[in-house]
Amino acid sequence: MTIRKIPINLRSVYNKNIAALTVDDCSQTVVANRHHLLTGEQELWGIPFLLGPDGGAAEKSDAAASPGSEPTSPAVPSVAADPANVILLKDADVHIPLPGGVHDRQLVFVHAADFKESPAQPDGMTSPMLGTPRLGEVVCTYVLNYDDGTRVEVPIRRRYEISEFNTAWGENSFEAVKHLKPFAIPDKSLEREGMASYPWGKTQIATTFQGEGSPMHHWLYALENPYPQKLLIALTLHPVDGAAFIFGITGANASSHPLRWGERKKLKLKSAAALNHYGKEADIYIDMGAVISVTPMLRYDNERWCGASRDPQPVPSADEWIVEYTAHPDACLHVRGARPVSLPIREWERRGEAEFGESQTLPVRLRVLEKSTNKPVAAKVHIHGRWGEYVAPVNGHRQPNPRWFEDYGAEHVNGFHYSVYINGEADYKLPRGEVFLEVTKGLEITPIRKRIVIDEHTSEIIVELERVLPWRQKGWVTADTHVHFLSPQTALLEGEAEGVNVVNLLTSQWGEMFSNIGDFDGKTTIGSVQNGGTGEYLVRVGTENRQHILGHISLLGYEGSMILPLCTGGPDESALGDPLEATITQWARMCREKFGLAVLPHLPNPRAEGAASIVLGEIDAVEICSFEVSGISPYSLSDWYRYLNCGYQVPAVAGTDKMSQSTAVGTIRTYSLIRGEPFTYESWMRSVRKGLTFVTYGPLMDFTVNGCEAGATIEMAASGGTVDVVWHAASVTVPITRIELVVNGEQRECKTADGEQPSCAGAWTVNVSESCWIALRIRGAYPGQAEIITAHSSAVFVKVDGKPAFRAADAVTILEQIEGSTAYIKTLATRADERIFKQLLDTLHSAHSALHRRMHERHIYHRHATHEHHRH
């Protein structure tokens, strides 16, 4: 049942026409802005008002046209000859009879005070300091007249019951609200035609403020009737100090203050179509409140939640929606569409389709402990309730943002599965009843999933984590070579929670935008013992230097000043008009001279000058990248195999290129082996340079050839021979389906694995007749999902008769890539001065000559990009 809200017709007592206001009536500011004052039928904060007539020429505000939205362009009175449409309370009382009388609990006024300045003293100071508007000054009094002769005077004070048409930030009223209620605003990806556009930063706030968008604020004040049992027969408005405008009055019988909304709640709604809750065309809205979000109900497999490790991705419902809202208890929810619905919020609650508000949830502290030490440890946490709705900690986003370079918390968005990173402890408000908990930490600890019943006795949840795969104890450390946009401390937290020992946070440039510039100092390893950390989890800020054609290079751990320019050669990477001032090879060389690690990122693209860098020996590793969780790309591996096939011993590392919360730090990661020395950032770099690495989405491996780990070179006589390959693989995340031995890019051996078993091992003997490289490749899949490449080792090289491997077909493609890079510099690249131009070409020519010489030594002839090469 809806509450009574009846507008009072003031037509007989209006004494001014808005369009005819002059400076004799009010301030020049009001006169200049009179076209912004409201007239006509309006719905403000869900309450209907009958304001003064607009003369028939003006349009109604958006609020009147659409009860689910707010006015953006108030009505404009037509001409001065129109009838009076506002009460100007200035020089005389205004008496408002209420024919038949009313027993309303509240009288809701739409009114505003004219501006009044506080005079300053000669020194510029103001005393007494009342603020703007002048705090507590009585503008007028409203007198309630009852049929038994009772009179009640209500003082109407500035910044209490009324305020001026515009107020400074931070000086809102204590008992009145601006006529535009706050509402949710869409992010940029959801904006539609005809919808108000908001700047990027504003969309991250996701809500307007009351009054936003209106140059002239009309204030709503709900006067509580002290004697609703008596018959109220008239109002008398009495001016006291300054002028006031009264636009309209509505009588209401709300169960509580009609302008006070309740706490955030949720309800479940069935609808065959997605529901838009933005703007004038909203499909769903609340009159005395606001819809915060509408998200599909998520269907988790809660029956198997506590079972074996698996991808927890839920299935979003196509016809059931979770509506988050804030509203007055008497509010109504309206749904448009083929089957429109208008029901009081109380009715939804009575039907059991609404959740309790947050004050009726229970405070619970979650503690994640390391079982062996009983100490808190960082971890990634997910909790959802009975409707599949994500439950965030008190200080977390309820709707984590997966988009590029937007509002970040320490969170992860895996499709519809949301998680938060915590540093061992977190405070929650959990709903009573069942909740479903998931805690993960890296690839060596089995994910823990629990079903927990929350009741008044639940104050703490303790989860113990135990390492079940001992790769760290064997000397392996993990790393993500490529992370963007996090603060160093957030990167440290996420790295620890994901079990990533080394996070390389990269400063870079995108056009005119720069990231993490102030975090780079060329010396500090965050988390190291020397800098107050434990030394087990480290963050180092490096740079990703980029050119949109020639390629990118990740410069890790170098010392001293930043290697510049960060980006060059204009869009897509640097700013318009930037000339080409450096090559990938030059950047890599500078990094290594500064004791850093030069990594060719997200192999193979941009696929150009990186070939020259590898040929010249300036690359320490190539990066197998994860833009999504779709496994290691065969396309990327094919590019890497080209260089291995030509004897270039570049190891593999892994980096996520994380640029949003849709990618977790270490989704794909490097494992590198450190033995005989403590783990530090420097020892990690040495391990990578040696090639003691494998990259993985989940499965871990031990892999040796004749007892030698990846990165080693085995010398054999011209007659060749055999090598013994021994391997062990294990996984607590992605089930292993196949283990493959790769020789010179081709599968030589294969073993099918039982995905239900956490580990497997084997050995092969391989005949070697010519120089080659050997590596281990692992495939895996979650049940019901496609098989992907999940892990790959760096290579062991076997050199027969002292000659490195060399495959002619691959050498030709590498040479042509260098020639293409040279052609770009000569033709399209924006040139700097002649000296730099020649330096760029010299770098490419050096690489071309080095590879060209090797090809000639092996009598390999080919077609050049610009001319035919003939045998001399």
pLDDT band at 396 (very low <50, low <70, confident <90, very high): very high
Residue 698 has pLDDT above 60, yes or no: yes
The pLDDT of residue 341 is 84
227 and 269 housed in the same domain: no
Reading the block at residue 790, the tokens are: 């999940």
Number of folded domains in the chain? 6
- Contact (Cβ atoms closer than 8 angstroms) between residue 497 and residue 409: no
Task: Measure the CA angle with vertex 864, ends 860 and 869; round to 5°.
Answer: 60
Residue 459 has pLDDT above 70, yes or no: yes
The pLDDT of residue 202 is 81
The pLDDT of residue 203 is 81
252, 274, 298: which is the final residue of a domain?
252
Residue 176 C-beta-side C-alpha neighbours within 13 Å? 29
302 and 352 housed in the same domain: yes
- pLDDT tens string 351-388: 777 666 666 789 999 999 999 999 999 999 999 998 99
94 and 241 housed in the same domain: yes
Mean pLDDT over 312-326 rounds to 93
pLDDT band at 309 (very low <50, low <70, confident <90, very high): low
Stated pTM of the model: 0.90
- Contact (Cβ atoms closer than 8 angstroms) between residue 299 and residue 404: no
Mean pLDDT over 456-472 rounds to 97
In sequence order, what are the residues at sequence separation of 6 or more whose Cβ sits closer than 8 angstroms to the Cβ of residue 48?
5, 7, 41, 42, 250
> From CA 529, how far away is CA 686, in angstroms rounded?
19
- pLDDT tens string 525-574: 999 999 999 999 999 999 999 999 999 999 999 999 999 999 999 999 99
* Least confident window among 56-60, 649-653, 741-745, 862-866: 56-60
444, 465, 486: which is the final residue of a domain?
465
Say if 119 falls within a structural domain: no
Say if 379 falls within a structural domain: yes
pLDDT band at 61 (very low <50, low <70, confident <90, very high): very low
pLDDT band at 869 (very low <50, low <70, confident <90, very high): very low
Residue 127 has pLDDT above 60, yes or no: yes
Residue 610 maps to which CATH number? 3.20.20.140
Residue 450 has pLDDT above 50, yes or no: yes
546 and 490 housed in the same domain: yes
Residue 802 has pLDDT above 90, yes or no: yes
740 and 634 housed in the same domain: no
Write the single-letter amino acid at 61: S
Residue 75 has pLDDT above 50, yes or no: no
663, 697, 731: which is the final residue of a domain?
697
Mean pLDDT over 68-82 rounds to 45
Percentage with pLDDT > 70 across the chain: 93
Say if 871 falls within a structural domain: no
Say if 863 falls within a structural domain: no
Mean pLDDT over 304-322 rounds to 86
The pLDDT of residue 74 is 42
- Contact (Cβ atoms closer than 8 angstroms) between residue 415 and residue 664: no
Residue 702 maps to which CATH number? 2.60.40.10
686 and 746 housed in the same domain: no
- Contact (Cβ atoms closer than 8 angstroms) between residue 734 and residue 699: yes
DSSP letter, residue 34: G
| Domain coverage including residue 327 | 265-358
pLDDT band at 868 (very low <50, low <70, confident <90, very high): very low
Say if 864 falls within a structural domain: no
692 and 635 housed in the same domain: yes
336 and 482 housed in the same domain: no
184 and 278 housed in the same domain: no
The pLDDT of residue 281 is 82
Mean pLDDT, the chain, rounded, equals: 92
Residue 92 has pLDDT above 90, yes or no: yes
Say if 118 falls within a structural domain: no
Mean pLDDT over 697-723 rounds to 97
548 and 452 housed in the same domain: no
Give strand pairing partners of 700: 730
Q: What is the CA radius of gyration of the chain?
A: 35
Say if 650 falls within a structural domain: yes
Rounded-to-5 percentages of helix, strand, coil across the chain: 15, 35, 50
- Report residue 312: phi and psi, to 5°: -85, 15
The pLDDT of residue 192 is 64
CB-CB neighbours of 848 under 10 Å: 20
Peptide linkage before 606 cis (omega within 30 of 0): yes
Reading the block at residue 633, the tokens are: 């790309």
478 and 504 housed in the same domain: yes
- Contact (Cβ atoms closer than 8 angstroms) between residue 231 and residue 147: yes
86 and 158 housed in the same domain: yes
- pLDDT tens string 499-519: 999 999 999 999 999 999 999
Give strand pairing partners of 152: 144
> From CA 428, how far away is CA 417, in angstroms rounded?
18
The pLDDT of residue 358 is 63
Say if 123 falls within a structural domain: no
Residue 308 has pLDDT above 80, yes or no: no
